[in-house]
Amino acid sequence: MIGKISPLEIIEANFFFPNEGVFKPHPVLIVSTSELFEEEEIFYGVLMTTKNIIPKYTIKIEPTWLTKQTNKDGYFATHFMQIFTMADVTKRSNTFLKSEYFDRIKSKIINSVFYEI
């Protein structure tokens, strides 16, 4: 897919599921900066899912958090973060996480993934 991505954009990308050893198209929230994409042509995304996989690692998506509301329940699986290129993108939705909610997601990612001393 040609183009560029924007921070907090929701896309569909081929996400690798290590427990199954396969790639599957899945909604992804872009959590990295525009600068990273412009300089390296890569971006980081967090898996979005309709399943509350492991509750201590997920955060429920409230309908008001997105620029386009959905009728499905959804979650950010903050322990499933992956690096992508534009070749991994399968669909664009023109939907974004509203910026005022990003700190909640970022904090959950940090607490879910990174070791604290």
User: What is the per-residue pLDDT across 3-24, written as a single tens digit (0 to 9) for each?
Assistant: 788 999 999 999 999 889 999 9
Over the stretch 47-94, which tens digit does the pLDDT of each residue have?
999 999 899 999 999 989 999 988 888 999 999 999 999 999 999 989
Structure tokens at 19: 């427990």
Quick one: how far is CA 32 from the chain centroid? Answer: 10
pLDDT at 2 over 70: no
Mean pLDDT of 102-108: 96
CB 52 within 8 A of CB 28: no
Average pLDDT over residues 85-107: 95
**pTM (two decimals):** 0.92
- What does the domain layout of the chain look like in residue ranges? 9-113
Domain 9-113 has CATH 3.90.1150.10: no
The per-residue pLDDT for 42 is 96
Alpha carbon distance 14, 83 (integer Å): 11
